[in-house]
């Protein structure tokens, strides 16, 4: 009875899809039989972790050497590797995630979205993606890929690639060359120590760069030519100085958990769209800052908590959230927020945190309520 049902369905599909040949019908039937023995899936045509925070977990290294991957072979356009799933209702996506794979399967030429995350892959052989030049999303995160086991030009032919996910691997170098079409580059949780100034050259479409949780001690001017960059996450690294030359397009800059102790004059002025700056857990002192370092009219949120500041730095009246907890500040200087205090001149600050410093509650000046009239949270 089961075979009769399957053959009936196959016959109906053959009648309604008469433009396909017999080989394609047989491939569909094989796919249906394979899926009938497996639990159902409900994959969607987008990167499944895109709108949720990453949960990073390091996979244990295999006890034996990785098995060599199969040589790329030409295959019919409808073919799907046996190790993966290619949903018939979304024919341009291939799901090979969380299957203990130690190699990259063949990628059919029709694919645009390929998911290899959560496997044991260590090597990306040269030419691995030469057949799939239409790729737009490539997910390789949560594997064990090492820089020395990557082909030198594995991404060279991917002229349409927009998102590359290689976070949580064993990379020690920035992958290069990278497609100029890239919009997002995810390289967090690796072992990268240096970002050469030319490694991101030509990526004028890049909007988001994730390099947190590496060992980067030098950035140089690698961000300067990224004309579309909106977000740069360089937190949890070994930087001792800020990157040279921020892009004008930048809106979010995350530099927390580094070793930065100084910031050049007018550093943030070159980025008129900058909204969020996070530099907590660094080594900033007042001696390493100029008078107007943070006096930028665009910045709305500034996090300088857990540094070595002894005075409140001067900020712009447009700032809305200022975090200074865990420093060594011993005075409440109202001039840091308002150069003139009257009915027409006041700060837009809403949240001010000064807890964990050396300021006493009775040190708040009497004109503070007039200057900080919009503040809803002040913690001392």
Residue 261 to residue 287: CA distance in whole angstroms: 9
Q: What is the pLDDT of residue 361?
A: 78
Looking at residue 342, its pLDDT comes to: 83
Higher pLDDT, 344 or 348: 348
Compute CA 315 distance to the chain's CA centroid, rounded to the nearest angstrom.
Answer: 29
| CA-derived radius of gyration, the chain | 27
Distance between CA atoms of residues 209 and 232, nearest Å: 5
pLDDT confidence of residue 134:
96
Can you give the pLDDT at residue 28?
39
pLDDT per position as a tens digit, 151-171: 989 999 999 999 999 999 999
Average pLDDT in the chain: 84
Cα distances from 292 to residues 197, 313, 352, in angstroms, run 28, 8, 19
Distance CA 32, CA 3 (A): 12
Residue count (the chain)? 380
Residue 254 pairs with which residues in a beta bridge?
Answer: 233, 278
Residue 72 has pLDDT above 80, yes or no: no
Please say if the pLDDT value at position 120 is more than 80: yes
d(C-alpha 219, C-alpha 194), whole Å: 7
Tokens 């910045």 correspond to 299
Sign for the pseudo-dihedral over CA of 101, 103, 108, 109: positive
pTM: 0.79
């Amino acid at each position: 009875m089961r075979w009769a049902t399957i053959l009936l369905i196959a016959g109906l599909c053959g009648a309604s899809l008469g433009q396909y040949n017999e080989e394609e019908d047989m491939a569909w039937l094989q796919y249906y039989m394979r899926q009938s023995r497996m639990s159902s899936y409900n994959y969607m045509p987008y990167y499944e972790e895109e709108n949720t925070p990453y949960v990073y977990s390091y996979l244990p290294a295999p006890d034996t050497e990785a098995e060599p991957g199969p040589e790329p072979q030409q295959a019919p356009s409808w073919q799907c590797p046996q190790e993966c799933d290619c949903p018939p209702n979304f024919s341009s996506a291939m799901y090979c995630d969380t299957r203990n794979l130690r190699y990259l399967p063949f990628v059919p030429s029709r694919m645009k979205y390929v998911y290899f995350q959560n496997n044991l892959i260590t090597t990306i052989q040269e030419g691995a993606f030469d057949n799939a030049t239409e790729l737009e999303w490539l997910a390789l995160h949560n594997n064990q890929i090492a820089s020395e086991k990557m082909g030198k030009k594995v991404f060279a032919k991917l002229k349409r690639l927009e998102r590359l996910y290689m976070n949580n691997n064993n990379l020690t170098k920035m992958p290069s060359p990278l497609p100029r079409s890239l919009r997002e580059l995810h390289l967090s949780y690796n072992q990268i120590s240096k970002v050469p100034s030319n490694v991101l050259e030509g990526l004028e479409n890049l909007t988001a760069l994730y390099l947190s949780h590496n060992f980067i001690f030098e950035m140089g001017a690698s961000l300067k030519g990224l004309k579309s960059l909106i977000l740069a996450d360089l937190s949890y690294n070994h930087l001792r100085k800020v990157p040279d030359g921020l892009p004008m397009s930048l809106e979010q800059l995350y530099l927390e958990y580094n070793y930065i102790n100084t910031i050049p004059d007018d550093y943030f002025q070159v980025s008129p769209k900058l909204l969020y700056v996070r530099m907590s857990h660094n080594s900033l002192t007042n001696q390493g800052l100029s008078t107007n370092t943070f006096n930028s009219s665009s910045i709305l949120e500034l996090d300088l908590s857990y540094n070595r500041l002894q005075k409140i730095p001067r900020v712009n009246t447009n700032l809305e959230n200022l975090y200074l907890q865990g420093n060594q500040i011993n005075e409440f200087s109202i001039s840091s927020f308002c150069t003139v205090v009257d009915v027409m001149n006041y700060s837009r600050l809403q949240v001010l945190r000064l807890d964990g410093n050396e300021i006493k509650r009775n040190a708040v000046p009497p004109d503070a309520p007039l200057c900080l009239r919009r503040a809803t949270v002040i913690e001392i």
